[in-house]
Amino acid sequence: MLRETNRREFLKTSAITGLLFLAGDLLHSYPLAHGAANIPEAEKITITIIIDNYHETTRPSYKIANRYTGGYLYAEHGLSCHIELVVNVRTNSFLFDFGPTLSGISRNMDGLKIDFEKLEALGLSHGDGDHWGALVELLKSRREKIPKGIPFYVGEETFAERFTRRPDGISKIPQLKKEDIEGLGFVKVVEIKDPTSIASGAYLTGRIEQVTDYEKGLPVALIKRGDTLEHDNFIGEQAVVLNLKGKGLVVLSGCAHVGIVNTVKHAQRITGVGKVHAIMGGFNLKGAKEEIIQRTVADIKTMAPDYIMPMHCTGFEAIVAFAKAMPDQFILNTAGTKYIFIS
């Protein structure tokens, strides 16, 4: 029933936005329809951070952040989240990103008691291995618990060959292959360009329009398009957009290579919801120049979110900058933290 509801929401969204997305390249030339994604309001949102770069067993719970107290978890350079929503008194859940290693994500999922049997969908932010490295083996190991035919949502170029430019040359990075997912026999790959409902009350962003002049992505990132290597501008990177009743948007990014400011502004445009309740996830500011960090912090502060939780690839300097500029909104994230948002 819920999947059928999701399908109807997607078809409705596609009908509204179809004329504005005549081709993928037009996304950067024409504005999105204001409020094109008619996102239902959730009465409750619970986001559990399964994998992140940092873990601390003694950090106390704080505001909406409920810390894991069941022992040690793995911290790895990567990200994985479990999202559960209550919409119209009905509960649904999905996974977003899958961390780099099976050992890490399996231990943490078991400790956090992630329920695979209730999953509605799987979503991936982008094709870098620190977000999907554990995926195939995880699905194999839990195949008896995962609903058959579960959709796996990905953006454009997720399965492309990627490279990175290093001082000693160009190196190929691990590649996720579509056939490895489909070969499992119980997962349906769904490739998207437009804003798409993946569970009742939850959207993936589709292509994110770049409107800032300073969020340039990773200059060392390369992608193979045809027979040539080009700069990887991560046109298919996805973020999760949720809408907490009476309080506004909750935006969860994977790495935000297209820019966390661009990502949040895009979420506001596609939903027509201006109020931002929480911004969380990787902000892609590790190694960024101080000027870029300060401009990002200033723009996020202007958005006036109630909470800000930088994670994963945000980088120490940027995390500290957010903590100093927005002390009342800032929450230090740790692997195992469960964020509970109530309307």
Q: What angle do CA 319, 320, 322 make, to 5 degrees?
A: 65
Burial-class residue 166 by CB neighbours within 10 Å (0-12, 13-18, 19+).
exposed
Amino acid at 330: F
| Each residue's pLDDT tens digit, 282-328 | 999 999 999 999 999 999 999 999 999 999 999 999 999 999 999 99
Rounded CA-CA distance 185/147 in Å is: 12
What pLDDT is stored for residue 204 in this prediction? 98
Closest to 96 measured CA to CA, from 319, 290, 281, 288: 281
pLDDT above 60 for 252: yes
How far is 105 from 102, CA to CA, in rounded Å? 5
pLDDT tens-digit map of 171-191: 999 999 999 999 999 999 999
The count of residues in the chain is 343
Residue with the larger pLDDT of the pair 1 and 145: 145
Say yes or no to pLDDT of 13 above 80. no
**Tokens at residue 198, please?**
């993946």
Half-sphere exposure of residue 268: CA atoms within 13 angstroms, side-chain side? 17
Domain ranges of the chain: 2-20+43-82+98-342
Homologous superfamily assigned to 2-20+43-82+98-342 = Ribonuclease Z/Hydroxyacylglutathione hydrolase-like (3.60.15.10)
pLDDT for 38 equals 87
For residue 36, the model assigns a pLDDT of: 72
